[in-house]
Amino acid sequence: MARVERTIALWVAYDGTEFHGWQNQLDLRTVQYVMEDALRRVVRHPVNLMGSGRTDAGVHAAGHVSSFVTTCELDAERLRHSIGSRLPKDLSLIALRDVHPHFHATRSAISKLYRYRIHNTQGRPVEHFTQRYTYHFWIPLDVEGMRAGGRHFLGEQDFAAMASKGGHRETTVRKVLRCDIERHLDEIRIDVEGTGFLYKQVRTMVGTLLNVGRGLWEPDRVSDILKSTDRANAGPTAPARGLCLQWVRYPPELLSPEVNTRSDVDQMSNAE
- In SS3 terms, 50-97 reads as EECCCCCCCCEEEEEEEEEEECCCCCHHHHHHHHHCCCCCCEEEEEEE
Are the C-beta atoms of 30 and 23 separated by less than 8 Å? Answer: yes
The confidence band for 166, taking pLDDT boundaries of 50, 70 and 90, is: low
Residue 74 pLDDT > 90? yes
Nearest-angstrom CA–CA distance, 260 and 175: 31
Residue 27 known to be catalytic: no
% helix, strand, coil for the chain, step of 5: 30, 25, 40
Residue 94 pLDDT > 90? yes
Q: How many helices (H) and strands (E) does the chain have?
A: 6, 10
Question: 6-108 belongs to which CATH class?
Answer: alpha beta
Yes or no: domain 111-246 corresponds to CATH 3.30.70.270: no
- Count of positions (residues) in the chain: 272
* Backbone Cα Rg of the chain: 20
Are the C-beta atoms of 117 and 244 separated by less than 8 Å? Answer: yes
Count CB neighbours of 31 within 10 A.
26
One fold for both 6-108 and 111-246? yes
Are the C-beta atoms of 181 and 114 separated by less than 8 Å? Answer: no
Query: Which has the closest alpha carbon to 160: 216, 205, 210?
Result: 205
Decide: pTM greater than 0.75: yes
pLDDT tens for each residue of 30-51: 999 999 999 999 999 999 999 9
pLDDT of residue 264: 46
Tell me phi and psi for residue 113, to 5 degrees: -120, 130
Q: Which of 15, 27, 37, 56 is catalytic?
A: 56
The separation between the first and the last C-alpha atoms of the chain, rounded to the nearest angstrom, is 31
Domain ranges of the chain: 6-108, 111-246
pLDDT of residue 258: 77
pLDDT tens for each residue of 101-157: 999 999 999 999 999 999 999 999 998 899 999 999 999 999 999 999 999 999 999
Are the C-beta atoms of 255 and 9 separated by less than 8 Å? Answer: yes
